[in-house]
Amino acid sequence: MPRSPLLPAACLALAFVTGSGPVAAQIMKTPEVAQERITPQTKPQVQLSFAPVVKRAAPSVVNVYASHVDKRGPTRSAMEEFMRRFFGEDGAGRGRGGAPGERAQRSLGSGVIVDESGLVVTNNHVIDNMNEVRIALADRREFEATIVLRDPRTDLAVVKIKNPAPGLVAMPFGDSEVLEVGDFVMAIGNPFGVGQTVTQGIISALARTQVGSSDYQFFIQTDAAINPGNSGGALVDLQGQLVGINTAIYSQSGGSHGIGFAIPASMVRAVVETAKNGANTVRRPWLGARVQTVTPDIAESMGLDHPTGVLVASLQAKSPAEEAGLKRGDLILTVDGKPVDDPEAFGYRFALKGLTGQAKFGIQRGTTRSTVSVKLAAAPETRPRDVLKVRTRSPFLGATVVNTSPAVAEELQVDFPAEGVAVASVDEGSIANRAGLQKGDVIVSVNGVPITVTKDLDRVTRNSLSAWEVSINRGGAVLTSVFGG
C-alpha cells in the first residue's frame, strides 16, 4: 500500500509536541500558536526537519538529457516518406524538434555528481543507445557531457561534464552496508520532467534479488516516491550521503506505488572508481563455477534449519574455484564474512571484490564447515573472439557472434561448451530476431556442419540455400529448428 503523504507531517508535529524545551512549551499553549512557524533553537530541533540535509545534497543532483540523432541524406524511399509523414514529420523531413534530415530519440533522467571534476553517475538505461548527453545543474546551468563508461550489467553509467564550471558540488558516498530496514532516506531526482523534487520515506527492505533490472540484483527497497524521470537520481541518508542510485519501481500504472529500488552505493562506488582509473568497461573477478539456489530439501539433507547459501553445481577446469579446492556439492555460506542467501546475492558480493588479492568463502562440505581462499582474477580470453556480424541472407542475418571463452561466458552470464560460437547480440527486427535467436545462444551446427569458430558460420552462411537446419545450445538444452530459405 502506498505511504500516505500526510504521514511525515504528522510525525513531525508529534515530535514537536512531545519534545522538551521552549519550542514544545509554546506549541502546547493554544491551538493558534501551534500553527505558527517557529524557528528551531537547538540542533536536535533542527534535525526534526529534512531541509538541512536537502540543502547539502540537492546541488549534487542533476538532470540528464540524452538523445540519439541519426543524420540522413536527401534520398528517401516511398515507404520511408510514408512512415515519416504518418509518424508526424513534415514533407521536408523535419522531425518534431529536429533539423531537416535528422531523426532524434530522446531520454530524460537524473544523475549525481560524484567528483568535482565533473563525473556524473546515472542509470545506463537513461543513456542507452544515445550519442548526445547534456547535464543540467540544480541552478539551471547546462553543460554538454561525454559518456565515459557504460555498465549494462549493473544498469549504471558514468558521464563527464565538458568544461565544467568551478564550484561543482560532489555528493559523498555513504556506507550502504550499514543501512537497516526502517532508516529514513530521501529520493532526489526529476520525476516526470517537472524539475528537481525531493521525496522522503524509509528503507523498506534490503538485498532484494528478484527485481530483474540488472545482472547484479541486490537492491535497496524504499517507499520514498520514485517515478519516471527519477532514474539515476540519488537515494540519500540523513547525513546527506549517497547510499543508492534510484533505478526501478514496481508499478502497474507507471506511477509510484511506494515500492522503489535503488542500486547500493557499494556497487556504485566500484563502477565510479573504474571510471576514475580511466577504464571504459568494468572488469570483475571470475570464479569459474556455476552456483544454484538451495532448496528446502537440500537444506534438510545438509542439516540446515533453513535454506541459506548457494550450492556449487559445476566447475570449469583451471578456474580459480577449482584451484581453491572447491568441489561440486559444496555449500558457500559467506563471502568475506558476508552471508549470501541466493545466487544473485553471491554474485553481487563476489563482484565487489575487485581483481587483486583473495576472497574468503565460508563453505560447508557435508556437515563440516571450513574457509577457502579464492584468487581474484579476470576471466581469461583463451582464444580470439573473431567477432562476426552476419550480413548474408540466412537465419543469422542481423546477429553478431563471437568465439567462446571464459571471458565471453562471464560477460554473457551463461555456461558455454569448451569451444563454440556464441550469439553476442541480435538486431531488433532482424531476420535473426524473427527466427528466435537470442543473446547467449551457442550455435552447435548448421545443416549438419559443426560450428566451432565464427569462420565456420561465415563460410556456411555464404551459401544460398532453400532450407536451414540450425541446432543451438540454450541453457544446456540443444534445440533444433528448420527454416525456409
The set of catalytic residues is: 125, 155, 231
Q: Which of 171, 179, 234 is nearest to 203 (CA)?
A: 179
CA angle, residues 174, 178, 181, in degrees to nearest 5 = 110
Task: Give the separation between CA 159 and CA 194, rounded to whole angstroms.
Answer: 22
Task: Give the separation between CA 230 and CA 18, rounded to whole angstroms.
Answer: 35
Q: Which of 387, 385, 403, 391 is nearest to 443 (CA)?
A: 403
Specify whether the CB–CB gap between 440 and 447 falls below 8 A.
no
- Give the end-to-end CA distance of the chain in Å, rounded to a whole number: 54
Task: Give the separation between CA 324 and CA 375, rounded to whole angstroms.
Answer: 7
Region at 175 (left for phi over 0; alpha for psi -120 to 50; beta for the rest): beta
Kindly state the cell numbers that stand for 445: 551446427
Contacts for 40-49 with beta carbons within 8 Å, 24 or more apart? 44/19, 45/19, 45/21, 47/238, 48/12, 48/15, 48/16, 48/19, 49/12
Residue identified by cell 563471502 is 335
CA distances from 305 to 149, 300, 361 (A): 44, 7, 20
Strand-pair partners of 63: 110, 136
Task: Give the separation between CA 145 and CA 383, rounded to whole angstroms.
Answer: 36
Per-position DSSP letters for 116-149, written without gaps between them: TTTEEEEEHHHHTT--EEEEE-TTS-EEEEEEEE
DSSP code of 434? H
Strand runs labelled E in 116-249:
119-123, 132-136, 142-151, 156-161, 184-189, 197-208, 219-222, 234-236, 242-249
Kindly state the cell numbers that stand for 150: 557504460
DSSP code of 52? H
Task: Give the separation between CA 367 and CA 100, rounded to whole angstroms.
Answer: 72
